[in-house]
Amino acid sequence: MLTRDPNTTSAAPGARARRAPSGQTSLLGDLVEPTTPQVGAAKRRAGSSPRVSGAGWRWPLSYVQRGERDPRFDLLRGLCLLAMIVSNLGGNSWFSAISGGPFYISAPEGFVFIAGCVLGITAARETLGETVRHLVARLWILYRLAIGITLGFGLLAATGRAALWYPLPPATVATYADRPDAFVIGTLGLAVGYHGGEWLILFILLLAAAPLALLACEERRGWLVPLVSVGVYLAAQLYPDQFRLPFATPVSIEAWQLLFFGGLTIGYHRRQFGEQIARFRPYSFAYAAAVVVAALALLALHRQGTAPDWLFDRQNVEAARAALTPRRLLPVAIFLQFFFLLATWFWIPLRAALGWFVLSLGRNALWVYALHLPLIVLFRNVTALATLDRNLGTVAQLLAILALWGSIKLRGWLNDAAYRSALPAARPSRGLA
């Protein structure tokens, strides 16, 4: 029996069917054109459908799962992106006062974990071949963008006419001085990254290794993924100088992979974890309460400046963050769960207050990330923006963020207009009918 894909628009006989744009997003929000699962493409195995996670929970403001997509990840990803943009733009503003300064966790850590979790959830609904094809397409987009960012801003830095996000690293200058051809080759080999391109290199390497982890999960050997990931993490902590990949990543990929593959494992086996948690519901509530208490206690200690040194070293925050040391990993794990619980328990007011704005950012994360890089240059080279007081600096950052949000809406409108113009003209008899 033939079935018609509900996402395909009917056309005149002989015309190629075109798929309508969909709102589905993927790993980083919009790495590829939005896609919709094909009819019959989902895995035909037990446990592939998502569990309705809100059943039995009577708190009226909480999240209830409807369908396969979980917009909580879009919300959290959008909030991480907001904090990242405010921090990168710099300047004197109330936003910077809220998000700036050393803290137990940073936006990139949450972003990497969410990326792995979303990939695991998506892969659990697809065949391994479909997931690998999507990963290859995303890798190609990320690779081209990372190269373009590094070469473009690297050339601008070489002219010395503009203040960029940060100067070229001294090691890069010493290695590639007066050798632009070697700089290009190093960029193509991902040995050089600059002005945000190194963060994309981090995701390129993580995605390149993801098919092996997904194959283990597909073969019901998912326990191998956290086992290998923890082993690599421990090797990076014990032998940081000897255990290092020769790629231009801003942090230790050998350590940060634990966040990505930990999220991937949780996302892929989300249904199984949900069933186990449901069996111990009273204990799960007690665990959630302990997480909230621990997070609030850490917030109070941080505000008072009395956080213990064995947990949080204010003098070496960046080094602990780059290496993701165990004392950094513990509060990161606490706050990742804390923010997810907040998004679950207070989903209704959060969606009403921030959904129209933050969800758009989270679903178009790569687009926003790429566009905010030239805004960084603008904020560092326009004297009027660099010397604003806190109130005017807040207005300037708000206008920049709204401009990014407006670009998302304009992009969506242009894509819809292009799609409508590509549709075949309706036949007069069909229009009359």
Q: In the Cβ-directed half-sphere of 181, how many Cα atoms lie within 13 Å? A: 0
Looking at the domain assignment, is residue 177 inside a domain? yes
In this prediction, residue 3 carries a pLDDT of: 43
Calculate mean pLDDT across residues 166-181. 87
- pLDDT at residue 335, rounded to an integer: 96
Ranges 141-145, 175-179, 269-273, 285-289: which has the least confidence: 175-179
Average pLDDT over residues 415-430: 67
> Which of 234, 216, 427, 244 is closest to 329 using CA atoms?
234
Domain that holds residue 167: 107-280
Predicted local distance difference test score (pLDDT) of residue 417: 77
Alpha-carbon distance of 126 to 129, in angstroms, equals: 8
Examine the pLDDT at 33 and tell me if it is beyond 50.
no
Give the per-residue pLDDT at 7: 45
From 246, 280, 314, give the residue that closes a domain: 280
Instruction: Identify whether residues 265 and 389 lie together within a single domain.
Output: no
- Is 205 domain-assigned? yes
Q: In degrees, to the nearest 5, what angle opens at C-alpha 317 toward C-alphas 375 and 193?
A: 45
Does residue 155 sit within a domain?
A: yes
- Asked whether residue 76 carries a pLDDT value surpassing 90, the answer given is yes
Residues 94 and 113 in one domain: no
Pick the range with the lowest mean pLDDT from 57-61, 128-132, 189-193, 341-345.
57-61
The answer to whether 9 touches 423, Cβ cutoff 8 Å, is yes
Structural domain contains residue 157: yes
> Is the same domain home to 352 and 237?
no
Same domain, yes or no: 113 and 257: yes
Out of 80-89, 273-282, 306-315, 333-342, the most confident range is 333-342
Name the least confident of 37-51, 355-369, 402-416. 37-51
The predicted structure's pLDDT at residue 309: 85
Please state, in angstroms and rounded to a whole number, the distance separating the CA atoms of residues 35 and 211: 20
The answer to whether residue 82 sits within a structural domain is yes
228 in a domain, yes or no? yes
Q: How many domains does the chain have?
A: 2
